[in-house]
Structure 1
Amino acid sequence: MAAQFDWGLDQPANPAARPGEGVQDIEPEQLPEVRALSAEGWQLAPDAPVLAFLPAVWPPELRTWVPDRSTRHEQRFEQYPVNLAIYSTATVSATPAAREEAEADIDELLAAAGAPGRPRGRIWLLKPPQGYDSVERAWRPSCCTTRTAEHQTGPFAQWLGTAPSAS
């Protein structure tokens, strides 16, 4: 079964979304709208680049998004040129150019997997499918090397090709 990617481009932002400019020094999980949605059972989509596709394959009724008004940070460091030992580190707010570069890197990973690039400026929140207590429990079986009954019958088993074939 071929993967179907749907970024919900026609899906409006969650009604809890707040209009306006970005906020200073607030991580995504600290935004008031994300906190409100978390209280309703929504969970932030994993931010690992290798899982960037997850909102695109998640059931549309179990995903939502809000505009990304958060501040992202990056680590900067300086090294001695002779031995490359790090002598200075700093955490700074990521510039728009640095954020775009990170998004472009994720788009390259998605393209390598045959997925379209994701829309910019969204914080994705997911609800676990019925029978799962967390988003991680729903996708993690596909990432494990040990195959159990859960791995072969989880909500994404057909998409991942781990479902038993119909004979």
Structure 2
Amino acid sequence: MSWDEDGTPHPLALRRTGRSEQEPDRLPEVRELEVLGWEPAPEDMLWVFLPYVWPPAARTWIPDRSTHWAVETRLDGHGHITDVQAAPLAEPDLHDLDWEAEEVLTELGLPHRPPGRLWLLRPLGSLPTVGAVLDRLRAVAEERGVEVRASAAFLALTRDELAALAAESGSET
């Protein structure tokens, strides 16, 4: 288990540099990797640890060139929208976006994620999608009486089940 701190991004990501005004899932390199069977890692706090425990042969990352936007909406006295302005978040504000994820990782005893990465995963075993893998993890947790929440017990179950699925599909390394 690791964040692949010393690893390099997927080679497709090396063809592009600089900030993009696209949101993460709209980046061209993400779309290209989706065609090759990769899926963006879920953003839900329940799964914040997922790339850390996902088998290395079935995970990759790319630099996050996306832009995160702050949207300000003004309303009149009747609740009608009178103005909407969007502006890119400043660098210090971007770090604030990760505080909740870092707090969860700390509670789980895991190291913080390397900044500036978008994680992509491939399905494991005979399951067709990452969503199907997550559904299976939820079902196994329910069968074993493990609460589906970011906890040490759910982390251990997830790690073990992913290892079993990787062995089934031959993507353990």
Per-residue deviation, 1:73: 2.3
TM-score, normalization by structure 2: 0.71
Residue matched to 2:22 = 26
- Counterpart code for 1:136: G
Select the residue among 86, 89, 93 that pairs with 2:88: 93
Inter-CA distance 34–48: structure 2 relative to 1 (3 Å threshold) = same
- What percentage of residue pairs aligned between the two structures are identical? 32
Map 1:1-167 → 2, pairs under 5 A: 5-17=1-13, 18-23=15-20, 25-76=21-72, 91-144=86-139, 146-147=142-143, 159-160=156-157
**Shift, 1:104, TM fit:** 2.6
* AA of the residue aligned to 2:5: L
Q: Which residue of 1 aligns with 2:165?
A: none
Query: What displacement does 1:92 show?
Result: 3.7
Q: Which consecutive aligned stretches of 4+ in structure 1 deviate over 6 angstroms post-superposition?
A: 85-89
Deviation at 1:91, TM superposition (A): 4.5
Could you list the per-position Cα deviations for residues 53-74 of structure 1 after superposition, in whole angstroms to 9, with x for gaps in the alignment?
A: 1100000000001100011124
Please report the RMSD computed on the Cα atoms of aligned residues, expressed in angstroms: 2.9
Compare the two structures and name the one with the higher helix fraction.
Answer: 2
**Is the partner of 1:107 in helix, strand or coil?**
helix
Calculate the TM-score normalised by the size of structure 1. Answer: 0.74
Give the Cα separation in 1 of the matches to 2:104 and 2:85: 27
Unaligned segments of structure 2, at least 5 residues: 145-153, 162-173
